[in-house]
Structure 1
Amino acid sequence: MSHRIKDHPPRVFFRCGNPFKNLFPKTNNARISPNLLSLLNSFETNLMLSIRELIPKGDGKAILTVSWMKEAMASLCETHKSIRTLVTDLELHVSDLEENFIYIYSSISSKLLELCNSFTSELDRLNHGSLLLKFTLSKLETSSCSEEIYLLHLESWRQHMASKNPRFENWGAILSSLVESLKQHHHSLPKKKLSGKGKVLLRALYGVQVKTLYITSVFAAVFSRSSNNLLYLTIPNMEEVPWTQAFMELQNMVNPEIKNAFLSDRFTVIKDLEAVELGVKKLHKAVQEGSDTNVLVEVLKKSVIKLSERFDLVSKETGCLLKTVISARDALVERLWTKYEEELGVKLPMMISVKRLVCE
């Protein structure tokens, strides 16, 4: 690792200490049934395995590929689905949690949805660049344009790909607010003791939030081409949590690779896209020199089609995460609504679904 990389201090997750470290004090474990501990151990073991699967084998060159990004987003979607399954297995009622938790989760998830929408916007922008390039290549195949027009189209693609999505400006603030939201979660924890089920869910959610925050920061850094959005999350006093080591290994593998890519001042840190850009450079030179472009066009066309298909897969998994988070938000709100109806002894007006609002 270069000296310049070491100059970047890690962005600490909880500067005030880990708010979850006392969820399971040794003197209080007896209050949690073996069945609940079994559910938690199973959840955290699966979380560890899902994180370990994202650690690239070998020298880490697979990290900055669209395929790895697709796997990371798919893994994140499955992890969020697993929380829904855990809630079902716990047979959790709203009474097991404070209302503040639901409100805080709603705030955190709304920021995650905003990030996902931004990622989708950027993927659409990148795919629009693929369409521009496909159009240029079709013109080259039919030889219906002059050399100047070809070069203009190629330069237009490069300018489009080098431009920045205006939604990038908020990403750093959103990531920081997610960290702050988790701190507020700690300060808002109820003074009275949580039930065993509540403790299990909170600890499981901690792991989900750590994984979510880190992976979204990787996406934000890659898409914005700025290491300022890349987080390094510390997990103090959590040696007993099975996924900690895998998570630290993932960070220690991914972060240096991304930062080194930024230091190289490349056109893009996404390796698939960099390969396409190299093909465009060769084609640009061939057009200028009046050389035969048939082979270059054919190779570049295949690369562009493959890249577009892979971006579509990332978009699909991002959409999966969006739907899963929205579904979880709806479920929590419905549980809270049911609690109000039971306490008041009346039937309250049907709430407008968050999902319905998003779809409309």
Structure 2
Amino acid sequence: MSRSEGPHRGFLPIGNPFKMMMPKTSHLPSTFLTTFEKNLAKRFQQLKPNHPNDVITFSWMKSALSSICDTLDDVRKLIVDLELPICSWDIKWVDMYLDNSLNLLDFCSAFGTDIVRQRFGYVMLKCALLDLDSDNPQKLMKASSSLHEWRQYHNSYHNSKLQDCCDVISKLEQTLNLPKIKNIPKAKDLVRAMYGLKVQTMFIFSTFVAAFSTFPRVLVELQVPKLYLWQESFTELQVVVNGEIKNVYSSNGVSPLMELRRIEENVKKLYPLLHEGLGDVKDEDFKSYCSELMENNEKFLIGLDEIKSEMDRFFKVVVSGRMALLDNFQQQPPRSGVQQVRM
């Protein structure tokens, strides 16, 4: 499927573009939707860190991605519980679902590419550490050069796919306005649940982009109406996470991701010693710095692999949902008549 690409934009515009177009008619949510929103509220509560230093870690990122998978599964269950067959869907709902899920797949692709880039950074440090485990002056000079290259590589984003991730989030932003729904309660419940999924996805994806960034980005800051049962827990989570990310950004050239910050601190200690000499630093302290860098680099790789594995699971969940919809779509086309299905 070909998709038209808009002009390159910043992460998100200043202000609050997330105003909803809610129907003027009042509607009480069904028991199924109430359960969905209570589950979403619990997920936001569980993601709220107990301590600011827990933002952002690989463990938190893994839990966040898992929570989106759970919400996707809840949306699927909601469709079944509402007994809202595809034949009763308006075509714009199908378009909305397919377009949104395609954006999620695009994010998986772009972020997965940047994970590969981060793995290359791990290899660079691994090579530097092998040279550091030597008394040969030439190898120590080579190690110094490798650390310098890592710092440049880490702070350079000409090969990064993070901007592509930002573009995906911007596309999701453009779909946050809810479509006008006729007086069909079940349809309103479905669209309301989709709104919750998009808010959750946009917020979490924006933190993922921030995790590997060493320069400030405009974070997603949503103002959700109080009518949603998950509004309070989401707002509390957003304040804590975004607040800590901004605090980290106030330190130049530092990534919000805790595991990456530790490596940055190790390199910051080691590089001047190799470049200018040990000076007053004892040999055992120097070896301790090297050992600490090696340990943190290995932990970084483990965390990176865990996020990649969870991202693969997320990808499969999204694809599975699309295929289930399209299978039903072929058996009982939605209203308005569709000539072509977009894959």
2: CA distance, partners of 1:284 / 1:166? 24
Aligned-pair CA distance for 1:227: 4.0
Provide the residue aligned with 1:231 in structure 2.
Answer: 220
Q: Is the partner of 1:53 in helix, strand or coil? A: helix
**Is the Cα–Cα contact under 8 Å of residues 11 and 233 in structure 1 kept in the other structure?**
no
Q: Is the partner of 1:240 in helix, strand or coil? A: coil
Provide the residue aligned with 1:193 in structure 2.
Answer: 183
1: CA distance, partners of 2:203 / 2:23? 19
1: CA distance, partners of 2:36 / 2:236? 20
Provide the residue aligned with 2:200 in structure 1.
Answer: 211
**Is the Cα–Cα contact under 8 Å of residues 48 and 243 in structure 1 kept in the other structure?**
yes
2: CA distance, partners of 1:306 / 1:168? 22
2: CA distance, partners of 1:39 / 1:137? 55
**2:59 aligned partner, one-letter code:** S
Provide the residue aligned with 1:5 in structure 2.
Answer: none
1: CA distance, partners of 2:203 / 2:324? 25
**Is the Cα–Cα contact under 8 Å of residues 217 and 230 in structure 1 kept in the other structure?**
yes
Cα pair distance change 1:214/1:341, threshold 3 Å: closer
Provide the residue aligned with 1:240 in structure 2.
Answer: 227
Percent same amino acid at aligned positions? Answer: 29
Provide the residue aligned with 1:252 in structure 2.
Answer: 239
1:132 is aligned, of 124, 130, 136, to 124
Q: Is the partner of 1:100 in helix, strand or coil? A: helix
**Is the Cα–Cα contact under 8 Å of residues 10 and 233 in structure 1 kept in the other structure?**
no
Equivalences for residues 91-106 of structure 1 within 5 A: 91-106=83-98
1:324 is aligned, of 317, 321, 340, to 317
| Stretches of 4+ aligned residues off by more than 4 angstroms | 142-145, 341-344
1:55 is aligned, of 38, 45, 48, to 48
Provide the residue aligned with 1:68 in structure 2.
Answer: 60
Matched, 1:12 2:16: yes
1:173 is aligned, of 155, 167, 175, to 167
* Offset from partner CA, 1:154-197 (integer Å, 9 cap, x none): 112222211214423334433222121233x52xx45x432x43
2: CA distance, partners of 1:174 / 1:312? 23
Aligned-pair CA distance for 1:13: 4.1
Provide the residue aligned with 1:149 in structure 2.
Answer: 142
**1:245 aligned partner, one-letter code:** E
1: CA distance, partners of 2:201 / 2:49? 18
**Is the Cα–Cα contact under 8 Å of residues 82 and 186 in structure 2 kept in the other structure?**
yes
1: CA distance, partners of 2:151 / 2:268? 10
Matched, 1:123 2:112: no
2:250 is aligned, of 255, 263, 277, to 263
The count of residues paired between Structure 1 and Structure 2 equals: 323
Provide the residue aligned with 1:220 in structure 2.
Answer: 209
**Is the Cα–Cα contact under 8 Å of residues 56 and 257 in structure 2 kept in the other structure?**
yes
**1:182 aligned partner, one-letter code:** L
**Is the Cα–Cα contact under 8 Å of residues 220 and 229 in structure 1 kept in the other structure?**
no
**2:242 aligned partner, one-letter code:** N
**1:70 aligned partner, one-letter code:** K
Q: Is the partner of 2:53 in helix, strand or coil? A: coil
* Offset from partner CA, 1:108-167 (integer Å, 9 cap, x none): 221222122221112221121112111221232255643321211111222221121442
**Is the Cα–Cα contact under 8 Å of residues 283 and 297 in structure 1 kept in the other structure?**
yes
5+ long unaligned stretches in structure 2: 1-11
Q: Is the partner of 1:61 in helix, strand or coil? A: helix
**Is the Cα–Cα contact under 8 Å of residues 86 and 334 in structure 2 kept in the other structure?**
no
**Is the Cα–Cα contact under 8 Å of residues 87 and 201 in structure 1 kept in the other structure?**
yes
**Is the Cα–Cα contact under 8 Å of residues 96 and 197 in structure 1 kept in the other structure?**
no
Cα pair distance change 1:174/1:62, threshold 3 Å: same
**2:222 aligned partner, one-letter code:** L
**Is the Cα–Cα contact under 8 Å of residues 172 and 229 in structure 1 kept in the other structure?**
no
Q: Is the partner of 2:54 in helix, strand or coil? A: coil
**Is the Cα–Cα contact under 8 Å of residues 20 and 206 in structure 1 kept in the other structure?**
no
**Is the Cα–Cα contact under 8 Å of residues 65 and 311 in structure 2 kept in the other structure?**
yes
**Is the Cα–Cα contact under 8 Å of residues 175 and 213 in structure 1 kept in the other structure?**
yes
**2:175 aligned partner, one-letter code:** S
Cα pair distance change 1:203/1:105, threshold 3 Å: same
- Worse-matched range after superposition: 275-284 or 165-174: 165-174
Aligned-pair CA distance for 1:21: 5.9
Aligned-pair CA distance for 1:341: 11
Provide the residue aligned with 1:90 in structure 2.
Answer: 82
2: CA distance, partners of 1:12 / 1:343? 33
**1:235 aligned partner, one-letter code:** V
Cα pair distance change 1:285/1:221, threshold 3 Å: closer
5+ long unaligned stretches in structure 1: 1-7, 355-360
The structure that is helix-richer by fraction is 1
